[in-house]
Amino acid sequence: MKKLILLICLFLLSTLITAQSAEKDLIKKTEDAAKTIDDTIKNGWKSKGKVTFLFNQASFNNWIAGGENSFSGNLGLDYKIDYKKDDYTWENRILASYGLLQTQNSSFEKKTDDQLEINSIVAKKTKSYWYYSFLVNFRSQFTRGFLYDKDVNGAEIREENTKFMSPGYLLVGPGMYWKKNENFKINLAPLTSKFTFVNSRYTSIPGYVDGSYFGVDANKSMLYQLGFNATAYYKFNIMENVSAENLLNLYSNYLEKPQNIDINYSLIILMKINKVLSANFNFQAIYDDDAFAGFQTKEVFGVALNYNF
Protein backbone atom coordinates (compact mmCIF):
# COMPACT_ATOMS: atom_id res chain seq x y z
CA MET A 1 0.00 0.00 0.00
CA LYS A 2 2.82 2.38 0.93
CA LYS A 3 4.56 1.61 -2.36
CA LEU A 4 1.35 2.35 -4.27
CA ILE A 5 0.96 5.70 -2.52
CA LEU A 6 4.61 6.49 -3.22
CA LEU A 7 4.20 5.61 -6.89
CA ILE A 8 1.08 7.81 -7.15
CA CYS A 9 2.94 10.71 -5.50
CA LEU A 10 5.89 10.28 -7.86
CA PHE A 11 3.52 10.18 -10.84
CA LEU A 12 1.73 13.35 -9.75
CA LEU A 13 5.06 15.12 -9.10
CA SER A 14 6.36 14.09 -12.51
CA THR A 15 3.15 15.26 -14.18
CA LEU A 16 3.32 18.61 -12.37
CA ILE A 17 6.97 19.17 -13.37
CA THR A 18 6.20 18.23 -16.98
CA ALA A 19 3.19 20.56 -17.06
CA GLN A 20 5.20 23.45 -15.63
CA SER A 21 7.99 22.84 -18.14
CA ALA A 22 5.49 22.73 -21.00
CA GLU A 23 3.86 25.95 -19.77
CA LYS A 24 7.22 27.76 -19.58
CA ASP A 25 8.10 26.50 -23.05
CA LEU A 26 4.74 27.72 -24.40
CA ILE A 27 5.23 31.15 -22.81
CA LYS A 28 8.73 31.42 -24.29
CA LYS A 29 7.49 30.39 -27.75
CA THR A 30 4.66 32.94 -27.53
CA GLU A 31 7.10 35.72 -26.54
CA ASP A 32 9.52 34.71 -29.32
CA ALA A 33 6.66 34.71 -31.82
CA ALA A 34 5.56 38.18 -30.71
CA LYS A 35 9.14 39.42 -31.02
CA THR A 36 9.45 37.89 -34.51
CA ILE A 37 6.22 39.58 -35.62
CA ASP A 38 7.48 42.91 -34.26
CA ASP A 39 10.81 42.52 -36.04
CA THR A 40 9.15 41.73 -39.38
CA ILE A 41 6.70 44.66 -39.40
CA LYS A 42 7.23 46.53 -42.66
CA ASN A 43 8.86 49.95 -42.72
CA GLY A 44 6.67 52.95 -43.40
CA TRP A 45 3.44 54.46 -42.14
CA LYS A 46 0.39 52.68 -40.79
CA SER A 47 -2.73 54.15 -39.25
CA LYS A 48 -6.14 53.25 -37.89
CA GLY A 49 -8.89 55.17 -36.19
CA LYS A 50 -12.36 55.01 -34.71
CA VAL A 51 -15.14 57.56 -34.31
CA THR A 52 -17.71 56.82 -31.60
CA PHE A 53 -21.05 58.43 -30.85
CA LEU A 54 -22.38 57.47 -27.43
CA PHE A 55 -25.85 58.53 -26.39
CA ASN A 56 -28.28 58.28 -23.49
CA GLN A 57 -31.89 59.50 -23.29
CA ALA A 58 -34.59 59.55 -20.60
CA SER A 59 -38.20 60.58 -21.17
CA PHE A 60 -41.10 60.80 -18.68
CA ASN A 61 -44.80 61.45 -19.27
CA ASN A 62 -47.28 61.46 -16.37
CA TRP A 63 -44.69 59.52 -14.38
CA ILE A 64 -45.98 59.63 -10.80
CA ALA A 65 -42.66 58.64 -9.25
CA GLY A 66 -41.07 61.75 -10.74
CA GLY A 67 -38.33 62.29 -13.24
CA GLU A 68 -36.77 64.81 -15.59
CA ASN A 69 -36.48 64.48 -19.36
CA SER A 70 -32.87 64.49 -20.47
CA PHE A 71 -30.62 63.72 -23.41
CA SER A 72 -26.87 63.36 -23.54
CA GLY A 73 -24.52 62.67 -26.40
CA ASN A 74 -20.78 62.07 -26.53
CA LEU A 75 -18.62 62.15 -29.68
CA GLY A 76 -15.18 60.54 -29.48
CA LEU A 77 -12.14 60.05 -31.70
CA ASP A 78 -9.34 57.53 -31.23
CA TYR A 79 -6.72 57.79 -33.97
CA LYS A 80 -3.33 56.05 -34.16
CA ILE A 81 -0.64 56.78 -36.73
CA ASP A 82 2.76 55.06 -36.50
CA TYR A 83 5.96 55.07 -38.50
CA LYS A 84 8.77 52.50 -38.58
CA LYS A 85 12.20 52.61 -40.16
CA ASP A 86 14.41 49.64 -39.22
CA ASP A 87 15.15 50.06 -35.47
CA TYR A 88 13.37 53.40 -35.20
CA THR A 89 9.67 53.81 -34.43
CA TRP A 90 7.43 56.83 -34.03
CA GLU A 91 4.10 56.11 -32.36
CA ASN A 92 1.32 58.71 -32.19
CA ARG A 93 -2.16 58.56 -30.69
CA ILE A 94 -4.87 61.23 -30.61
CA LEU A 95 -7.71 60.91 -28.10
CA ALA A 96 -10.53 63.43 -28.32
CA SER A 97 -14.03 63.47 -26.88
CA TYR A 98 -16.79 65.95 -26.26
CA GLY A 99 -20.17 65.44 -24.64
CA LEU A 100 -23.22 67.51 -23.65
CA LEU A 101 -26.18 66.95 -21.35
CA GLN A 102 -29.49 68.76 -21.68
CA THR A 103 -32.14 68.38 -18.98
CA GLN A 104 -35.68 69.72 -19.07
CA ASN A 105 -35.40 71.99 -16.03
CA SER A 106 -31.88 73.33 -16.52
CA SER A 107 -31.14 76.72 -18.07
CA PHE A 108 -27.84 75.53 -19.54
CA GLU A 109 -26.41 72.67 -21.51
CA LYS A 110 -23.69 71.04 -19.43
CA LYS A 111 -20.58 69.23 -20.51
CA THR A 112 -20.30 65.55 -19.71
CA ASP A 113 -16.92 65.19 -21.38
CA ASP A 114 -14.28 67.48 -22.89
CA GLN A 115 -10.88 66.01 -23.65
CA LEU A 116 -8.05 66.49 -26.11
CA GLU A 117 -4.89 64.43 -25.67
CA ILE A 118 -1.97 63.77 -28.02
CA ASN A 119 0.68 61.17 -27.20
CA SER A 120 3.87 60.79 -29.22
CA ILE A 121 6.91 58.56 -28.61
CA VAL A 122 10.03 58.38 -30.77
CA ALA A 123 12.04 55.25 -29.96
CA LYS A 124 15.19 53.38 -31.05
CA LYS A 125 15.40 49.69 -30.32
CA THR A 126 18.27 48.35 -28.20
CA LYS A 127 17.99 44.75 -27.01
CA SER A 128 15.04 42.51 -26.27
CA TYR A 129 11.96 44.66 -25.58
CA TRP A 130 13.82 47.86 -24.63
CA TYR A 131 14.09 51.12 -26.60
CA TYR A 132 15.65 54.53 -26.06
CA SER A 133 12.76 56.96 -26.19
CA PHE A 134 11.60 60.57 -26.22
CA LEU A 135 8.09 61.32 -25.01
CA VAL A 136 5.74 64.19 -25.87
CA ASN A 137 2.32 64.37 -24.21
CA PHE A 138 -0.20 67.20 -24.61
CA ARG A 139 -3.55 67.54 -22.80
CA SER A 140 -6.24 70.21 -22.81
CA GLN A 141 -9.95 70.72 -23.56
CA PHE A 142 -12.00 72.19 -26.42
CA THR A 143 -14.41 74.67 -24.89
CA ARG A 144 -15.18 76.72 -21.80
CA GLY A 145 -15.98 75.04 -18.50
CA PHE A 146 -18.23 76.50 -15.80
CA LEU A 147 -18.95 76.30 -12.09
CA TYR A 148 -22.69 76.16 -11.42
CA ASP A 149 -24.63 77.67 -8.50
CA LYS A 150 -27.96 79.31 -7.55
CA ASP A 151 -28.62 83.01 -7.10
CA VAL A 152 -30.65 84.52 -4.21
CA ASN A 153 -33.86 83.81 -6.14
CA GLY A 154 -32.96 80.18 -6.73
CA ALA A 155 -32.22 80.64 -10.41
CA GLU A 156 -29.32 78.69 -11.88
CA ILE A 157 -26.19 80.72 -12.60
CA ARG A 158 -22.73 79.83 -13.83
CA GLU A 159 -19.19 81.22 -13.73
CA GLU A 160 -16.54 80.50 -16.36
CA ASN A 161 -13.63 78.60 -14.85
CA THR A 162 -11.68 76.92 -17.69
CA LYS A 163 -11.25 77.05 -21.46
CA PHE A 164 -8.98 75.76 -24.22
CA MET A 165 -5.34 75.85 -23.02
CA SER A 166 -6.47 76.88 -19.56
CA PRO A 167 -5.31 74.55 -18.37
CA GLY A 168 -3.08 73.00 -21.01
CA TYR A 169 -0.38 70.46 -20.12
CA LEU A 170 2.77 69.61 -22.05
CA LEU A 171 5.22 66.88 -20.97
CA VAL A 172 8.51 66.27 -22.81
CA GLY A 173 11.49 64.16 -21.85
CA PRO A 174 13.92 61.33 -22.73
CA GLY A 175 13.62 57.88 -21.22
CA MET A 176 13.46 54.14 -21.74
CA TYR A 177 10.56 52.40 -23.47
CA TRP A 178 9.64 48.77 -22.76
CA LYS A 179 7.30 47.29 -25.35
CA LYS A 180 6.39 43.63 -25.11
CA ASN A 181 3.71 43.94 -27.80
CA GLU A 182 1.08 46.39 -28.99
CA ASN A 183 -1.06 45.64 -25.92
CA PHE A 184 1.57 46.03 -23.18
CA LYS A 185 3.89 49.06 -23.06
CA ILE A 186 5.72 51.03 -20.36
CA ASN A 187 7.74 54.26 -20.70
CA LEU A 188 10.02 55.57 -17.94
CA ALA A 189 11.29 59.16 -18.27
CA PRO A 190 13.38 60.33 -15.27
CA LEU A 191 13.97 63.88 -16.59
CA THR A 192 10.59 65.05 -17.81
CA SER A 193 9.73 68.73 -18.14
CA LYS A 194 6.10 69.55 -17.43
CA PHE A 195 4.55 72.84 -18.52
CA THR A 196 1.15 73.95 -17.22
CA PHE A 197 -0.37 76.75 -19.32
CA VAL A 198 -3.30 78.91 -18.20
CA ASN A 199 -4.98 82.13 -19.25
CA SER A 200 -3.66 84.95 -17.01
CA ARG A 201 -7.20 86.30 -16.89
CA TYR A 202 -8.02 83.66 -14.27
CA THR A 203 -4.89 84.34 -12.19
CA SER A 204 -5.51 88.10 -12.21
CA ILE A 205 -8.84 87.91 -10.36
CA PRO A 206 -8.84 90.20 -7.26
CA GLY A 207 -8.13 88.19 -4.14
CA TYR A 208 -6.51 85.37 -6.10
CA VAL A 209 -4.09 83.28 -4.01
CA ASP A 210 -0.80 82.12 -5.55
CA GLY A 211 -1.03 78.56 -6.83
CA SER A 212 -4.77 78.20 -6.36
CA TYR A 213 -5.45 77.99 -10.11
CA PHE A 214 -3.78 74.75 -11.29
CA GLY A 215 -0.62 75.66 -9.37
CA VAL A 216 0.08 78.87 -11.33
CA ASP A 217 0.98 82.04 -9.41
CA ALA A 218 -0.88 85.36 -9.57
CA ASN A 219 -0.74 87.20 -12.91
CA LYS A 220 1.28 84.36 -14.43
CA SER A 221 0.32 82.12 -17.33
CA MET A 222 2.71 79.17 -16.93
CA LEU A 223 4.10 76.78 -14.33
CA TYR A 224 7.30 74.78 -15.00
CA GLN A 225 8.11 71.50 -13.28
CA LEU A 226 10.89 68.93 -13.65
CA GLY A 227 10.36 65.38 -12.53
CA PHE A 228 9.94 61.67 -13.13
CA ASN A 229 7.23 60.46 -15.48
CA ALA A 230 5.99 56.91 -15.94
CA THR A 231 3.32 55.83 -18.42
CA ALA A 232 1.84 52.37 -18.88
CA TYR A 233 -0.62 50.87 -21.36
CA TYR A 234 -2.24 47.47 -20.97
CA LYS A 235 -5.10 46.01 -23.01
CA PHE A 236 -6.63 42.56 -22.56
CA ASN A 237 -9.80 40.61 -23.29
CA ILE A 238 -12.08 39.97 -20.32
CA MET A 239 -14.11 37.54 -22.43
CA GLU A 240 -15.14 37.15 -26.04
CA ASN A 241 -16.09 40.55 -27.53
CA VAL A 242 -15.33 42.33 -24.25
CA SER A 243 -11.99 44.16 -23.92
CA ALA A 244 -10.46 46.37 -21.24
CA GLU A 245 -7.95 49.12 -22.04
CA ASN A 246 -5.90 50.67 -19.22
CA LEU A 247 -3.84 53.86 -19.46
CA LEU A 248 -1.83 55.09 -16.47
CA ASN A 249 0.33 58.22 -16.14
CA LEU A 250 2.36 59.05 -13.01
CA TYR A 251 4.38 62.21 -12.42
CA SER A 252 6.57 63.31 -9.48
CA ASN A 253 7.88 66.89 -9.39
CA TYR A 254 11.50 67.03 -8.14
CA LEU A 255 11.31 70.79 -7.54
CA GLU A 256 8.46 70.80 -5.02
CA LYS A 257 6.70 68.09 -2.97
CA PRO A 258 8.03 65.08 -4.92
CA GLN A 259 6.02 62.78 -2.64
CA ASN A 260 2.77 64.19 -4.07
CA ILE A 261 2.54 62.05 -7.19
CA ASP A 262 0.17 63.18 -9.94
CA ILE A 263 -2.02 60.30 -11.15
CA ASN A 264 -4.03 60.08 -14.34
CA TYR A 265 -5.73 56.71 -14.90
CA SER A 266 -8.23 55.77 -17.60
CA LEU A 267 -10.19 52.55 -18.06
CA ILE A 268 -12.12 51.86 -21.26
CA ILE A 269 -14.29 48.74 -21.41
CA LEU A 270 -15.68 47.94 -24.85
CA MET A 271 -18.53 45.40 -25.13
CA LYS A 272 -18.86 44.73 -28.83
CA ILE A 273 -22.33 43.88 -30.14
CA ASN A 274 -21.53 43.95 -33.85
CA LYS A 275 -19.38 45.99 -36.25
CA VAL A 276 -21.41 49.14 -35.64
CA LEU A 277 -22.92 48.87 -32.14
CA SER A 278 -21.22 48.49 -28.79
CA ALA A 279 -21.74 49.25 -25.12
CA ASN A 280 -18.93 51.46 -23.79
CA PHE A 281 -17.84 52.17 -20.23
CA ASN A 282 -15.26 54.95 -19.74
CA PHE A 283 -13.78 55.74 -16.34
CA GLN A 284 -11.11 58.31 -15.49
CA ALA A 285 -9.51 59.19 -12.16
CA ILE A 286 -7.11 62.13 -11.68
CA TYR A 287 -5.10 63.20 -8.66
CA ASP A 288 -3.27 66.52 -9.04
CA ASP A 289 -3.02 68.61 -5.88
CA ASP A 290 -2.17 71.68 -7.98
CA ALA A 291 -5.72 71.53 -9.34
CA PHE A 292 -7.68 69.91 -6.49
CA ALA A 293 -6.72 68.35 -3.15
CA GLY A 294 -8.39 65.01 -3.81
CA PHE A 295 -9.39 62.58 -6.54
CA GLN A 296 -11.36 63.79 -9.54
CA THR A 297 -13.40 61.03 -11.19
CA LYS A 298 -15.43 60.81 -14.38
CA GLU A 299 -17.64 57.97 -15.60
CA VAL A 300 -19.47 57.67 -18.92
CA PHE A 301 -21.56 54.66 -19.91
CA GLY A 302 -23.93 54.08 -22.81
CA VAL A 303 -24.67 52.47 -26.16
CA ALA A 304 -22.37 53.63 -28.93
CA LEU A 305 -22.32 53.80 -32.71
CA ASN A 306 -18.83 53.10 -34.08
CA TYR A 307 -17.16 53.92 -37.36
CA ASN A 308 -13.71 52.43 -38.00
CA PHE A 309 -11.31 53.78 -40.60
Same domain as 32, residue 91: no
Q: What is the pLDDT of residue 41?
A: 67
Query: Distances from the Cα of 309 to the Cαs of 42, 160, 229, in angstroms?
Result: 20, 36, 32
Q: How many angstroms separate the CA atoms of 140 and 158, rounded?
A: 21
Q: How many angstroms separate the CA atoms of 51 and 94, rounded?
A: 12
Percentage of the chain lying above the pLDDT 70 cut: 87
Query: How many angstroms separate the first and last alpha carbons of the chain?
Result: 68
- The domain tally of the chain equals 2
pLDDT in tens, 175-210: 999 999 999 999 999 999 999 999 999 999 988 999
Residue 34 clears pLDDT 60, i.e. is over it: no
Is residue 258 reached through a cis peptide bond, with omega within 30 degrees of 0 on the bond before it?
no
Residue 6 clears pLDDT 90, i.e. is over it: no
Residue range of the domain that includes 265: 43-308
Q: What is the pLDDT of residue 12?
A: 45
Structural contact between residues 168 and 139, judged by C-beta atoms closer than 8 angstroms: yes
Query: Distances from the Cα of 99 to the Cαs of 224, 298, 299, in angstroms?
Result: 31, 12, 12
Same domain as 23, residue 61: no
Q: What is the pLDDT of residue 65?
A: 72
Task: Please state the rounded mean pLDDT for residues 21-47.
Answer: 63
Q: What is the pLDDT of residue 51?
A: 97
Q: Tell me the helix, strand and coil percentages in the chain, rounded to 5.
A: 15, 60, 25
Same domain as 268, residue 199: yes
pLDDT in tens, 257-309: 999 999 999 999 999 999 999 999 999 999 999 998 899 999 988 899 999 99
Same domain as 204, residue 167: yes
Same domain as 132, residue 31: no
Q: How many angstroms separate the CA atoms of 77 and 83, rounded?
A: 20
Count of alpha carbons within 13 angstroms of residue 48, beta-carbon side: 1
Q: Specify the higher pLDDT residue, 279 or 106.
A: 279
pLDDT in tens, 110-162: 999 999 999 999 999 998 899 999 999 999 999 999 999 999 888 899 999 99
Same domain as 16, residue 146: no
Nearest to 140 by CA among 120, 158, 160, 116: 116
